[in-house]
Amino acid sequence: MYQKLNYQKLIDAEPYEYGTWINSLGQAVVFLEHPYDGDEYPVIVSFPQYDAAFNSEFFEVPDMQGDYEPFYKNGKLVFAYELQTN
């Protein structure tokens, strides 16, 4: 399970935004750099429409494609390969 972060506290710290995309379920996904630890911390995956953010355990945004496309489901961060097995 991926650590859920305090979304509002994160946004208030004004983290650097690596990029945004819409996943195949139509969810906006925003990739953020940790506001204090920078690139020494895994990429943060946020879902603004749900006020949710998670530690992805990935250090590069391009790694989260294909089987690792991120989704918000039941209050959790899940990746495409996890949806295929459920």
Residue 6 has pLDDT above 80, yes or no: yes
- C-alpha 41/C-alpha 15 separation (Å) is 12
Instruction: Give me the number of domains the chain comprises.
Output: 1
Q: How many CB atoms lie within 10 A of CB 27?
A: 16
pLDDT, position 1: 77
- Is a pLDDT exceeding 90 seen at residue 85? no
Statement: residue 86 has pLDDT above 70: no
Q: Which residues pair with 28 in a beta bridge?
A: 22
Long-range contacts, stretch 73-79, CB < 8 angstroms, 24+ apart = 75/4, 76/1, 76/2, 76/4, 77/2, 77/4, 77/45, 77/52
Domain encompassing residue 69? 4-84
The pLDDT score that the predictor gives to residue 69 is: 95
